[in-house]
């Protein structure tokens, strides 16, 4: 009976633990280069920024949902008042300006573990080819 009580007592702890953010399959093996605001370049693999395989970007009063697989590069042009202004270069050559919250959290993988960062902490994110 004591064991059952101990097991029941640990259930809230287990339920409170969150799983790490998974990187969607369509961008899991994409090479990613991130340059942070200190100028350090990070060579990573896979990317998840907020909503799985797509990124919600704001232009004017409208929200755009853009697949990460369509993006070649994101440059953070400025960060002011909790908002980051981005220049997004698409794989087809188009370039557009958007904004996002500077606290948008992104997750990627390195050779030594999972990397979490906020969009306001980076200058550039380049998405390359699929790594094997």
Residue located via tokens 């979490």? 116
Calpha distance 45→127 (Å, rounded): 9
Q: pLDDT category, 5, cuts 50, 70, 90?
A: very low
Quote the radius of gyration of the chain (alpha carbons, Å). 18
- pTM, to two decimals: 0.80
- Asked if 104 and 118 count as a contact pair (C-beta separation under 8 A), the reply is yes
Contact 33, 50 (CB under 8 A): no
- Give residue-wise pLDDT tens across range 72-121: 999 999 999 999 999 999 999 999 999 999 999 999 999 999 999 999 99
Compute φ and ψ for 9, nearest 5 degrees: -65, -25
């Amino acid at each position: 009976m004591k064991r059952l009580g101990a097991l029941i007592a640990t259930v809230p702890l287990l339920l409170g633990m969150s799983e790490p953010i998974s990187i969607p399959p369509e961008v899991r093996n994409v090479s990613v280069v991130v340059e942070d605001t200190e100028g350090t370049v990070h060579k990573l693999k896979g990317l998840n920024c907020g909503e799985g395989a797509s990124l919600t970007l704001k232009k004017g009063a409208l929200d755009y949902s853009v697949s990460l697989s369509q993006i070649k590069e994101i440059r953070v042009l400025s960060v002011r008042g909790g908002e980051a202004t981005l220049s997004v270069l698409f794989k087809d050559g188009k370039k557009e300006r958007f904004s996002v919250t500077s606290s948008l959290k992104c997750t990627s993988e390195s050779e030594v573990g999972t990397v979490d960062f906020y969009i306001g902490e980076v200058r550039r994110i380049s998405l390359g080819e699929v790594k094997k």
